[in-house]
Amino acid sequence: MRVIAGIAKGRTLKPVPGKGTRPISDRVKESVFNILRWQVPDSRFLDLFGGTGGVGIEALSRGAEEAVFVEKEPKAVRVLRENLRATHMTGQARVVQEDVFRFLLLANQSVEPADRFDIIYVAPPQYQDLWAKTLIALDGHPLLAPEGIIVAQIFPKEYHALPLEDLVLTDQRKYGSTMLCFYEHHHGLVDPPTE
């Protein structure tokens, strides 16, 4: 597992011991950032279920202004901080050791326009429907900037349509055992695709 491009290109990232996290493969990560290449520079990036920090660190390496990582597991937080130090990204990063849903609940009560994120990445543990619960929690949430995008990384068999009011599925890509689902605010979209 490594940083693929940008100022930290080639840096190796430590994995979290055990099977509690599922790090993104280099192939999928490269595909994500090819799709998001125009949105990443100067963006604010929120990495929910941060794990090793691989996705947020890649965003920082490619020019994101700031990345916030939310991860509750202590051993994952330790590895995440080590990876930030190894890539010299600590100055642009904030690590929040907290349950994602509590973080979203608290953030909902005090979001200023400057606190909003351009990209929110969601990659929770599999088979618990956490991705769906997170998307539902983010539906209409003020944390997502008006032109922002949410990317959910899931196992393909986990996917199902969600009862969303504000967010709409705008793209979906499958790479072997990984599916990426892209969501945006419905405003401004012409004839958004149905789920």
The per-residue pLDDT string of the chain (195 residues; one tens digit each, 9 = 90 and over) reads 899 999 999 999 999 886 656 678 889 999 999 999 999 999 999 999 999 999 999 999 999 999 999 999 999 999 999 999 999 999 999 999 999 999 999 998 877 878 899 999 999 988 889 999 999 999 999 999 999 999 999 999 999 999 999 999 999 999 999 999 999 998 745 444 454
Q: Three-state SS for 2?
A: strand
In one letter, which amino acid is 16? V
Q: Three-state SS for 17?
A: coil
Neighbours of 10 (CB within 10 A): 10
Q: How many residues does the chain have?
A: 195
Domains of the chain: 26-185 (3.40.50.150)
DSSP 3-state helix, strand, coil percentages of the chain (rounded to 5)? 30, 25, 45
- What is the helix (H) or strand (E) element at residue 84, kind and residue range? helix 74-86
In one letter, which amino acid is 94? R
d(Cα 42, Cα 62) in Å, to the nearest integer? Answer: 9
Question: What's the confidence (pLDDT) of residue 152?
Answer: 97
Q: Considering the chain, what is the average pLDDT of its residues? A: 91
The residue ranges of DSSP E strands in 49-165, in sequence order, are 66-70, 93-96, 117-122, 144-154
Question: What's the confidence (pLDDT) of residue 19?
Answer: 63
Instruction: With 0.75 as the threshold, say if the pTM is over it.
Output: yes
The residue ranges of DSSP E strands in the chain, in sequence order, are 44-48, 66-70, 93-96, 117-122, 144-154, 167-175, 178-185
Question: What's the confidence (pLDDT) of residue 163?
Answer: 94
- What is the helix (H) or strand (E) element at residue 54, kind and residue range? helix 54-61
Question: What's the confidence (pLDDT) of residue 111?
Answer: 76
d(Cα 11, Cα 3) in Å, to the nearest integer? Answer: 5
